[in-house]
Structure 1
């Protein structure tokens, strides 16, 4: 886990931006008070998190997990009700 103080993060900001995008590992900024803490992540990772939250909130991931448990291992793609997934 990469933890930086705000002062060090400020000094290394550009390098931290490259690092989080290259490694896909977040950088934690630890302030003197917990309400001053933050996390830096890359844009692609943020987009991925947002997509996952959306799919969970709409119930789509529940459908995916149901299909993964389907013992037949086969889904007729044409039979899917795409408007209600």
Structure 2
């Protein structure tokens, strides 16, 4: 994760916004007062992080994931053909 001073960030805001979105890497914007430092990230990455947090905090989903991991590790899983909706291609 790169860091940039606030004044430089402000001067090149559009460039940094493009960089954050293109690289999918957050950017630390620093200030003289370290309590005011911020992290800038793309909305797509933020949304993905929020969804991950929702899944991780959902005990039911986490139990299903763990169950699937155990089945895969033991080789006790079944494979199925992909079902396609003929109306949607």
Normalising by the smaller structure, the TM-score range is 0.7 to 0.9
Q: Which runs of 5+ in 2 are unaligned?
A: 81-89
How many residues align structurally? 76
What is the CA–CA distance in structure 2 between the aligned matches of 1:58 and 1:75, rounded to whole Å? Answer: 26
Structure with the greater alpha carbon radius of gyration: 2
When normalised by structure 1's length, the TM-score is 0.78
Give the secondary structure class of the aligned counterpart of 2:77: coil
1:73 aligns with 2:77: yes
How far is the alpha carbon of 1:66 from its aligned partner? 3.0
What is the CA–CA distance in structure 1 between the aligned matches of 2:31 and 2:53, rounded to whole Å? Answer: 27
The two structures, once aligned, show a CA RMSD in angstroms of 1.8
Q: Following superposition, which runs of at least 4 residues in structure 1 exceed 4 angstroms of deviation?
A: none
Match of 1:23?
A: 23
What is the CA–CA distance in structure 2 between the aligned matches of 1:62 and 1:6, rounded to whole Å? Answer: 43
Per-residue CA deviations over 1:12-63 (Å, capped at 9, x if unaligned) read: 1111111111110111111122210101111110000000111111122343
When normalised by structure 2's length, the TM-score is 0.74
What is the CA–CA distance in structure 2 between the aligned matches of 1:65 and 1:5, rounded to whole Å? Answer: 43
Give the secondary structure class of the aligned counterpart of 1:29: strand
What is the CA–CA distance in structure 2 between the aligned matches of 1:44 and 1:28, rounded to whole Å? Answer: 17
